[in-house]
Structure 1
Amino acid sequence: MTVQNADDKKPLLYVVVCAAGVAGDVCKLITHAQERHWDVGVIATPQGLGFLDAEAIESQTGYPIRSAWRTPGETRPLPPADAIAVAPATFNTINKWAAGISDTLALGILCEAYGMGIPTVALPYLNAAQAAHPAYQRSLRQLREMGVLIGSYEPHRPKAGGGADRFCWTEAIDILEPRITRGV
């Protein structure tokens, strides 16, 4: 399926990458999005940046990875997003986002996306002990009430370093595309 915006340009997907063991595989999502005719820009949390091969990602997307706010007068390195995928979405980011905390560029973009009506999907990646915390369930409810679409990943066992084989990067585009094409 090809998704086009009004200018007949490829829509731009921001991929917000958080600090998790699977983050280094974000190229799987970038490739899938590009195959589905999206342009992609990557925003990393400050901790997430250390999990990425920045040179490879910047070469693949054609854009610099953003992790910090611009200084006054600095040009915007990315055009505005048509949609956002948070992948992997960590326990920390999900809870801060739902609470409206905007202490990093990534969280600032996510908090603004709600007010701007930008379709957003989160692909959580966390362990079962974190998922059992009451704040996490409250945060998921809050994000859903805000219209954020939540992926299907089932939390892995704590201290097992697992779940990477079950993390479905392509799910982000599969969830978002119907919302973009319908203009929802």
Structure 2
Amino acid sequence: MTLLVSASRPLRSLDHGLRLARERGAGLWVGASDSALSWLDQDAVEASIGRPLLNAGEPLPEERSTVCVAPATFNTVNKLASGISDTLVTAVAAEAIGAGNPVVVAPSMNTALLSHPVTAENRRRLTSYGVHLVWPRAGNEDSEDFSTWWQTVIDTSAVAGSSTS
């Protein structure tokens, strides 16, 4: 699985998501938005996945596995829905969408952004592209424990990947 992360609250418990993916036997490649890099303990992430971050020039896996964008910020969701690929995260995800590879997007944003009219429109657009969504029921501003969120993201990614095998 290629996990692409952006700077939102669930990123603080990325170690939990990585552990869940490893428990499922997933080979992991991780890439981060520029903003997310400052939130990460890069050495710990690289030790957990056994390879450098994609940001360091690590090549993508030859076999195209599931691409999971989690957490996906408001900005990242809007860029993906519009086909904008100006960052590592959006470029890798956009290419996977275009190639027909399984893509999972798990937004995490506050209530005001979740309620913004463009959010609902872009949710429809991503669904029409065949993207598997892990859509939040509420904004993330009151959440501290994202363990269930990560479990849902990893489970959805596993199902998305197995549905194309």
TM-score, scaled to structure 1 = 0.81
Contact 1:26 1:87 in 2 (8 A): no
Q: Do residues 134 (structure 1) and 117 (structure 2) align?
A: yes
Aligned equivalents of 2:32 and 2:122: distance in 1?
A: 21
Alpha-carbon distance, 1:85 to partner: 1.3
Q: Specify the alignment match of 1:38 in structure 2.
A: 26
- Aligned pairs (5 A) from 1:39-118: 39-67=27-55, 70=57, 76-80=58-62, 81-118=64-101
Aligned equivalents of 2:49 and 2:136: distance in 1?
A: 26
Contact 2:31 2:54 in 1 (8 A): yes
* Amino acid aligned to 1:182: S
Q: Which of 1, 6, 10 lines up with 1:22 in the alignment?
A: 10
Q: Secondary structure at the match of 2:52?
A: coil
* Amino acid aligned to 1:55: D
Change in 2 beyond 3 A, CA 1:16/1:109: same
Q: Do residues 177 (structure 1) and 158 (structure 2) align?
A: yes
RMSD (CA atoms): 1.8
Q: Specify the alignment match of 1:153 in structure 2.
A: 136
Runs of 4+ in structure 1 displaced over 4 angstroms?
A: none
Among all aligned residue pairs of Structure 1 and Structure 2, give the percentage whose two residues are the same amino acid: 33
* Amino acid aligned to 2:23: E
Contact 1:21 1:51 in 2 (8 A): no
Alpha-carbon distance, 1:24 to partner: 2.3
Alpha-carbon distance, 1:111 to partner: 0.7
* Amino acid aligned to 2:113: Q
Contact 1:84 1:121 in 2 (8 A): yes
Deviates more, 1:102-111 or 1:76-85: 76-85
Q: Which of 138, 144, 149 lines up with 1:168 in the alignment?
A: 149
Structure number with bigger Rg? 1
Alpha-carbon distance, 1:36 to partner: 0.5
* Structure with more of its chain in helix, by fraction: 2
Q: Secondary structure at the match of 1:51?
A: coil
* Amino acid aligned to 2:153: A
Gaps of 5+ in 2: none
TM-score, scaled to structure 2 = 0.90
Alpha-carbon distance, 1:22 to partner: 2.4
Aligned equivalents of 2:161 and 2:8: distance in 1?
A: 28
Q: Which has the higher contact order (CA 8 A, sep 6+)?
A: 2
Gaps of 5+ in 1: 1-12, 71-75
**Offset from partner CA, 1:52-105 (integer Å, 9 cap, x none):** 11000000101111237x5xxxxx534244001111111010001110111111
How many equivalent residue pairs?
Answer: 163
Alpha-carbon distance, 1:178 to partner: 2.7
Q: Specify the alignment match of 2:108 in structure 1.
A: 125
